[in-house]
Structure 1
């Protein structure tokens, strides 16, 4: 987001060779663009007519479905006070003008790489045990609510992404982006993961038959459950239960 046409063209030229660039000429247009496109990262000037970069950043960070998007603010304002204002608005980085194109590219890549690393970390850490989860503290409330909602409906074979989105008061698109951001799985994949992990827990308990486990985890038939379970674990439900009996 940059109101100066020459600077906007300069940024487009320097960044479009590596990333897809979407432009906006002011804060209001930028806000609508972020809501519609949900980009991987936002680069915005601070001094713009109408909504400035600080307010744009505050809005992004206040929106549940957008708050994890890194925001880099560009400004000619110097001094500690301006930097603090940028950071207090929730900005992930603050770049003072003039800056070199390579510096900006490296900062962008660092933030994108950090997001990829966190996605991998969250995916490795994510576990479902009843209503529990282990994730980064900042994302924990959201993930716990998602997992709790799924857990409550595991036995319902009709429960799907639309139901989860409605329960979370998000659109399907917003839910998909946020869940994918944190777990690197789509909501549908996460529901499947939760069903399978709960099935493993029930099989390890040894008190339920394979059919009972299938119906308890939302599968319409034991045969379908067995097929999905074997594809995911490499073992049939009966074979998986034997070492735990």
Structure 2
């Protein structure tokens, strides 16, 4: 394996002999970095951000658990996979400290290698899935954005037509009425009629706030032939009547 293809692995080891880790075998498969000092190991992990950190906790009262906790709580190293090595009786406290894996000693160096490979593979898969999900989400947002924009434009262009309804919208969008309902419910969480009403009422509010249009003209301009019915629907939507809006604007 070429050196540039090897993934970085940091071993922070204070009490396990170098040859017991199978360093030669690990070095053939990974870009191996080692530290015999806790503080140095933490600094290396933060600076180099290896894929995996292997750390000894032969004595849980010493630095191994603290190293694990610090790495997992650090924004720069929280994503790094950590394998702890130690006696079987310390496995629970090791995992509680945030370790991604725990191997009891004495251990087979081949088992350690397989654990490192599996963690790197899992991390790569999670990263690839996250990237794919972001791409899919971006695509969906683009598609949904274009769909909503087209639908809004269509409603604005026909806003004064009282006969322009769901069937006409679905036809111009090139989809069935049922698909239009389902898609809008999925994207906005409301029905087509609620969507149309929201656009019409917001348009009515802007016209009323302009202070130059009588209520009956505003009603007709957004597709309501009956101004009294429009006033009732307007009040349901905004909690105030069109005349109350006009009085407020005129009083300013």
Which structure 2 segments of 5+ residues have no match? Answer: 1-11, 154-172, 176-252
**Aligned residue number for residue 204 of structure 1:** 147
**Structure with the larger helix share:** 2
Q: Does 1:71 align with 2:82?
A: yes
Deviation of 1:122 after TM superposition, in Å, equals 2.3
Deviation of 1:203 after TM superposition, in Å, equals 2.5
**Aligned residue number for residue 134 of structure 2:** 126
How does the TM-score come out when normalised to structure 1? 0.50
* CA 1:243–1:5: 2 relative to 1, 3 Å: same
**Aligned residue number for residue 60 of structure 1:** 71
**Aligned residue number for residue 109 of structure 2:** 101
* Count of equivalent residues: 145
Contact persistence 2:16–2:56 (CA under 8 A): no
Q: Aligned match of 1:87 in 68, 74, 95?
A: 95
**Aligned residue number for residue 116 of structure 1:** 124
Q: Does 1:27 align with 2:47?
A: no
Question: What is the Cα-based RMSD across aligned positions, in Å?
Answer: 3.2
DSSP 3-state at the match of 1:66: coil
DSSP 3-state at the match of 1:91: coil
Contact persistence 1:2–1:8 (CA under 8 A): no
Which structure 1 segments of 5+ residues have no match? Answer: 130-193, 210-241
State which structure, 1 or 2, has the greater radius of gyration over its C-alpha atoms: 2
How does the TM-score come out when normalised to structure 2? 0.49
DSSP 3-state at the match of 2:103: strand
**Structure with the larger strand share:** 2
